[in-house]
């Protein structure tokens, strides 16, 4: 049986998260229902952020190896979710990407790509 190839976001090929887990903030809004508060508390801080950053770093290395440039790098939120499914839940991925961009680790590339619904989405890249 041939082993399944690793994706950019596969846990089996992931190095440790480069920042202390304590620096990643997970929170629910005060107006959220108790189920949302419980869900936020159940997420392991840093795991999803590490997966996202590792995927972006791997993509950058591949683009550099094939002679591409910054315009060839980046993912929309939908692309991140597609790459990380089914191990990561869509809202968790989008929230983690938001925390990474708020922390300055990911930036808007200036490029837009259409979502599955045809709306333009920001393409994020490493800062």
The 3 state secondary structure assigned to the chain is CCCCCCCCCCHHHCCCCCCCHHHCCCCCCCCCCHHHHHHHHHCCCCHHHHHHHHHHHHHHHHHHHCCCCHHHCCECHHHHHHHHCCCCCHHHHHHHHHHHHHCCCEEEEEEEEECCCCCEEEEEEEC
Give domain status of residue 84, yes or no. Answer: yes
| Domain-located, residue 112 | yes
Q: Is residue 22 part of a domain?
A: no
| 98 is a domain residue | yes
pLDDT for 48? 86
Domain CATH code at residue 75: 1.10.10
Which pLDDT value is given to residue 91?
84
82 within some domain: yes
Domain holding 73, by residue range, is 48-127
Number of structural domains the chain divides into: 1
Residue 57, in any domain of the structure: yes
Q: Is residue 81 situated within a structural domain? A: yes
Domain assignment present for residue 94? The answer is yes
Per-residue pLDDT tens, the chain, 127 aa: give them: 554 544 555 544 444 444 444 444 455 667 777 877 776 666 555 888 888 988 889 888 888 888 887 777 899 999 999 988 778 778 888 989 998 898 888 999 999 999 989 999 999 999 8
Cβ atoms within 10 A of the Cβ of 49, count?
A: 24
pLDDT at res. 24: 45
């Amino acid at each position: 049986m041939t082993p399944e190839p690793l994706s950019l976001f596969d846990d089996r090929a992931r190095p440790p998260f480069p920042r202390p887990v304590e620096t990643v903030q997970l929170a629910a809004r005060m107006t959220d229902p108790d189920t949302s508060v419980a869900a936020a508390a159940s997420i392991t801080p840093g795991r999803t952020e590490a997966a996202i950053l590792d995927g972006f770093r791997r993509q950058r290395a591949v683009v550099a190896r094939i002679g591409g440039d910054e315009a060839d790098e980046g993912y929309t939120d939908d692309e991140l979710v597609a790459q990380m499914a089914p191990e990561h839940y869509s809202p968790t991925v989008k929230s983690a990407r938001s925390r990474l961009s708020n922390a300055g680790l990911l930036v808007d590339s200036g490029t837009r790509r259409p979502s599955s619904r045809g709306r333009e989405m920001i393409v994020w890249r490493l800062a």
